[in-house]
Structure 1
């Protein structure tokens, strides 16, 4: 537990409903229930509770598979099945889902990116499949070998068009976003787009912008999704597939996170304010002052997002699941993105004394 010196100095900027129990853990009752529309009917079904997966045809042989936390996809063609990803949380249930709808074998596997939480069960498809991935995904899997993530057999740099049994998938790399090598996978005939770990339809995504590496590019990828003509989005997480409206909702939410983070930096980083925050705990407690500064900004940005009326007049907690638990993590990550990835408005001039610490 933190001592008094380590508490954020801007406690008044913390949303009022962030209650904790005597151990410091959040009180569930202090958080609003998830919006009821977050949980689709399949989630409450006896079949899902028993089997642990749900499979649904989106359009013309393109299927979405979910464990209720992770999702993947596959396409049935006249010559076999194309699988997209193999999350360990689905594991062999991915095979069960395919067998639910076809007797055809998996002939091709596409890796969206190299992270094990999305392709860590790819070994289930056996040794005779073609595996398509980006060049960087190959490089990373060669560097960090994993017997459960077989190496790709086909790689590409910018674009690859895969046609199997009359079904075409267009694979594109638009640069690093969530991670290097994360690709866009588009089925033009079915109007289904697969882009993993950029948005989570109906929710706020996992903390720290879904553990993404290039946050500026991650924001860019959200808008790149909207450049496609799609009706369905396979996004990698959570309870449902995406639609254009759900994507726009996620873009609006993270726009508010970015707005709040910038306002927090503007409020707490001017030299006089920054000096006061950093030095308040004492000259011999610099890192305590630093934590106070970061916490103050994160609290301020979180409060901005959670108390703001959104475009339809509701709070974000009434529209998206997980915002009261995840927003502060997003706020911190976006704050760091602003400080590290985006242009600074000024820099210290020669001969200037204050501030003693450069934000």
Structure 2
């Protein structure tokens, strides 16, 4: 089956599920192609990783990347202590173990990339005496939704802040809401490492719905902002790999194709004739079914555009990036909805006239 072909809407009907076979999403099986060769790193099969569940690797100049293979974090060893970046619960105390592998220095500073619990939900492991640096909005959100495992930041900033510890500089910058309010860029210029969490995941197409991001227009803007930095290594927060500048550009190219396909889908299926035909086909007493068919038509159109398009190097996306065949439909839906909700409308209905194109 072609990766972009729409599957029948079925679910597992084993006892204890729903006992029905016509609602929900199907489980993906062996008909999807495997992830690209080389996506799964060697450390996954090592006895050490199987035993301890984490991998730590120096990128350059005392800047270390730590991963549980699902979530990533980082730390920097300076002359006057360790600066930790994030604390995913999937790593938890393994962050301390990773740090203790390479230095006896204590953690003196912690940087929160953003407020989400899946990335800083184990920050309490660093103890009560660390300085916690974050954007002002991150502190405000944690004050509003308190969590003892995510201690409040002790130092906040508005736009830019340079954290200097033991002669090591980390440049923190907030360029506006992207994945979520308060999500920051963390640049280590001496080591040429950029950390920007939940934007891009080198080697893959990221988690569904543009990594569950809240402001898709801002999230797309962050792609070009990332490429504006000078870096050799990129830490994105997820999916087994740190990345190079070229690998980041590959992810940006993929999402440009998603935007291209979603834009074409909205233009095609939001014209009055196409919209009315789809909505009317299910009858006047099934408005939500007709609406779903309309949304699905756009998502399927965009998905097919992405998965059947020959990319910049001549290959298909599922041959280049992991997750393309399973995640693209979610990205397509999210991006086409952002086009409808966040982008300028080309027209609006005039009094006493027929609906214009792009009515909805």
Q: Same fold (TM over 0.5)?
A: yes
User: Please, which of 5, 10, 16 is the counterpart of residue 5 of structure 2?
Assistant: 16
CA deviations on 1:39-62 (whole Å, 9 max, x unpaired) are: 111122111111100000000100
* In the alignment, structure 1 residue 176 sits paired with structure 2 residue 165: no
> In the TM superposition, what is the alpha-carbon distance from 1:96 to its structure 2 partner?
0.4
Equivalence for 2:16: none
Q: In structure 1, the residue corresponding to 2:38 is in which secondary structure?
A: helix
Q: In structure 2, the residue corresponding to 1:90 is in which secondary structure?
A: coil
CA deviations on 1:22-81 (whole Å, 9 max, x unpaired) are: 736334211110112111111221111111000000001000000001000000011100
Mapped contact 1:261–1:297 kept (Cα < 8 A): yes
Mapped contact 1:39–1:239 kept (Cα < 8 A): yes
Q: What TM-score do you get using the length of structure 1 for normalisation?
A: 0.94
Q: What is the Cα-based RMSD across aligned positions, in Å?
A: 1.8
| Residue pairs, 1:156-305, within 5 angstroms | 156-305=157-306
Mapped contact 2:172–2:186 kept (Cα < 8 A): yes
* In the alignment, structure 1 residue 308 sits paired with structure 2 residue 297: no
Q: Give the distance between the partners of 1:273 and 1:196, measured in 2 at CA.
A: 39
Equivalence for 1:5: none
Q: In structure 2, the residue corresponding to 1:297 is in which secondary structure?
A: helix
| Residue pairs, 1:37-48, within 5 angstroms | 37-48=38-49
Equivalence for 2:150: 149
Return closer, same or farther for 1:279/1:356 CA change in 2, 3 Å cut-off. Answer: farther
> In the TM superposition, what is the alpha-carbon distance from 1:267 to its structure 2 partner?
1.4
| Residue pairs, 1:32-111, within 5 angstroms | 32-111=33-112
Mapped contact 1:256–1:305 kept (Cα < 8 A): yes
> In the TM superposition, what is the alpha-carbon distance from 1:17 to its structure 2 partner?
7.9
Equivalence for 1:4: none
Q: How many residues align?
A: 348
Q: Give the distance between the partners of 2:27 and 2:82, measured in 1 at CA.
A: 45
Q: Give the distance between the partners of 2:251 and 2:288, measured in 1 at CA.
A: 34
Q: Give the distance between the partners of 1:339 and 1:18, measured in 2 at CA.
A: 25
Return closer, same or farther for 1:330/1:120 CA change in 2, 3 Å cut-off. Answer: same
Query: Which ranges of structure 2 fall in alignment gaps of 5 or more residues?
Result: 13-24
Mapped contact 2:87–2:120 kept (Cα < 8 A): yes
Q: After superposing the two structures, state which structure 1 stretch, 40-49 or 307-316, moved more.
A: 40-49
Mapped contact 2:64–2:76 kept (Cα < 8 A): yes
Return closer, same or farther for 1:44/1:17 CA change in 2, 3 Å cut-off. Answer: farther
Q: Give the distance between the partners of 1:257 and 1:58, measured in 2 at CA.
A: 31
Mapped contact 2:271–2:358 kept (Cα < 8 A): no
Q: In structure 1, the residue corresponding to 2:146 is in which secondary structure?
A: coil
Equivalence for 2:114: 113
Q: Give the distance between the partners of 1:226 and 1:355, measured in 2 at CA.
A: 38
Return closer, same or farther for 1:158/1:27 CA change in 2, 3 Å cut-off. Answer: closer
CA deviations on 1:173-220 (whole Å, 9 max, x unpaired) are: 000000000000010100001000000110010110000011011011
Mapped contact 2:3–2:32 kept (Cα < 8 A): no
Mapped contact 1:177–1:213 kept (Cα < 8 A): yes
Mapped contact 2:271–2:359 kept (Cα < 8 A): no
Q: Give the distance between the partners of 1:194 and 1:54, measured in 2 at CA.
A: 17
> In the TM superposition, what is the alpha-carbon distance from 1:228 to its structure 2 partner?
0.7
Mapped contact 2:89–2:121 kept (Cα < 8 A): yes
CA deviations on 1:210-233 (whole Å, 9 max, x unpaired) are: 000110110110110111110001
> In the TM superposition, what is the alpha-carbon distance from 1:358 to its structure 2 partner?
3.5
Q: Give the distance between the partners of 2:278 and 2:346, measured in 1 at CA.
A: 21
Q: After superposing the two structures, state which structure 1 stretch, 242-251 or 344-353, moved more.
A: 344-353
Q: What TM-score do you get using the length of structure 2 for normalisation?
A: 0.93
- The structure 1 segments of at least 4 consecutive aligned residues displaced by more than 6 Å after TM superposition are 19-22
Q: Give the distance between the partners of 2:127 and 2:139, measured in 1 at CA.
A: 18
Mapped contact 1:18–1:30 kept (Cα < 8 A): no
